[in-house]
Amino acid sequence: MKQLAYYPGCTLYTKSKNLDLCARETAQILGVELKELETWNCCGAIYSTVQDDLANQVAPIRNLIEAQKISKKLVTLCAACYNVLKRSNRALFLKENDIYCKRMMNYLETEYLGDTETVHYLEVLKNDIGFENLKSKVKRNLSGLKVASYYGCLMLRPSDEMNFDDPDNPMMMDDMFSALGATPVEFPFKGECCGGYVLVNKPDVATKCAQTILESIIDTGADCVATTCPLCQYNIDNQQKLMSKQFNLPIFYFTQLLGLALGIDEKILNFENHYIDPKPLLKQKGLI
């Protein structure tokens, strides 16, 4: 079986176990082993934009070096990890960064040439496995389920650095759901900010951001939302309790719906871990 280095990141080990476990399990079904790095550390969580960022960049780069023991590609799932790992590598190996690069090497145990490519699991599904192939592995067709694919900002921007999908109209997750039989919906806030860490000190501001997104999704008649990022999931799921309007909209990780379609065990899917209980919806649609 094809092995790809896998970096889960801190949140996927704790709050977002369902994002992580569903990914590992679905990959297995699709013929790819997501092999976790032997040792790894925090990616840094937020891409550093300070002038002297050497110390901040060492952490993500160490993970990229570790990945080389397994493969040249490093798969991630959390949008924040994906953003930080990808950008740190790029910043280090920009042509004009020669001196910076040499300085960084002083802090690393191994010589590193910048050739670890950070990819998102969605990209693995699209490019390594292929949506057509994915379609043929579907056990439980998601037809009748209208899904709003919410990408958040970190996967898409800065677009010239992330180079993930059209930053104004991303379609990768939507295309995946089409392959699973679900109906993707169009809404204008696919890449808008969920409020992010602002939640910690200004919860009202963050909640308003999340509410704007949900309002536009509810207008489309979507049954549920799929996200790639633990923080997005938290902000638009848990914060529904603080919103001035009741949406009662289940918020999934995209790997949960993928797992559902590929027929993995309900225990792994872990639908317990949500603020808005998704089970009534799934029962109504005949999916569980």
Partner 1 sequence: MKSEKKRIGVFVCHCGINIAGTVNVPDVVKRLKDTTDAAVVIDHQYCCSDPGQDLIKDTIKKEKLDGAVVACCSPTLHENTFRKAVASIGINPYNCEIANIREQCSWVTDDKEKATDKATKIIKTIIKKVQHDEPLTPISIPVTRKALVVGGGVAGIQVALDIAQAGYPVILLEKSPSIGGKMSMLSETFPTLDCSQCILTPKMVEAKQHPNITLMTYSEIDSISGYIGNFKVKVRQKVKYVDWDKCTGCDICVGKCPKKVSDEFNCGLSERKVIYKMFPQAVPNRVVIDAANCLYLQKGACRLCEKHCPFEAIKWDDKDETKELEVGAIVLATGYELLDKKMLGSYGFGKLKNVVDGLRFERILSASGPFMGEVRRPSDGKIPEKVVFVQCAGSRDQENAMAYCSKICCMYTAKQAILYKHRVHHGEAIVFYIDVRTGGKGFEEFYKRATDEGTLYIRGKVSKIFEKGDKVIVWGADTITGKKVEIEADLVVLATAMVPSATKEFAQLLKVTQDEYGWFTEAHPKLRPVETLAGGFFLAGASQGPKDIPEAVSQASGAACKVITLFASETLEHLPVIAGVDEDLCSGCAVCIDVCPYNAREIQIKEDGKKKTVKVIEVLCEGCGACSAACPVGAAQQKNFQDKQIEDMVEVGLE
- The H or E element that residue 32 is part of is strand 32-36
> Smallest distance, Å, CB 116 to partner 1?
28
Binding site for partner 1 (CB under 8 A): 166-169, 188-189, 216, 219
User: Cβ closer to partner 1: 168 or 277?
Assistant: 168
Among 165, 161, 251, 261, which residue's Cα sits nearest to residue 210?
251
User: Cβ closer to partner 1: 56 or 216?
Assistant: 216
Given a contact cutoff of 8 angstroms between Cβ atoms, the answer to whether 189 and 216 are in contact is yes
Q: Output phi, psi for 279, to 5 deg.
A: -65, -40
User: Cβ closer to partner 1: 98 or 166?
Assistant: 166
What beta strand segments (E) does 1-81 contain? Answer: 2-6, 32-36, 73-76
> Smallest distance, Å, CB 220 to partner 1?
11
User: Cβ closer to partner 1: 207 or 256?
Assistant: 207
CA 222, 120, 230 angle in degrees (round to 5)? Answer: 55
User: Cβ closer to partner 1: 208 or 285?
Assistant: 208
How many residues can be counted in the chain? 288
CA distance 65 to 114: 8
CA distance 277 to 251: 9
Given a contact cutoff of 8 angstroms between Cβ atoms, the answer to whether 139 and 262 are in contact is yes
> Smallest distance, Å, CB 169 to partner 1?
5
User: Cβ closer to partner 1: 106 or 244?
Assistant: 244
> Smallest distance, Å, CB 126 to partner 1?
20
> Smallest distance, Å, CB 168 to partner 1?
3
CA distance 262 to 143: 13
> Smallest distance, Å, CB 53 to partner 1?
22
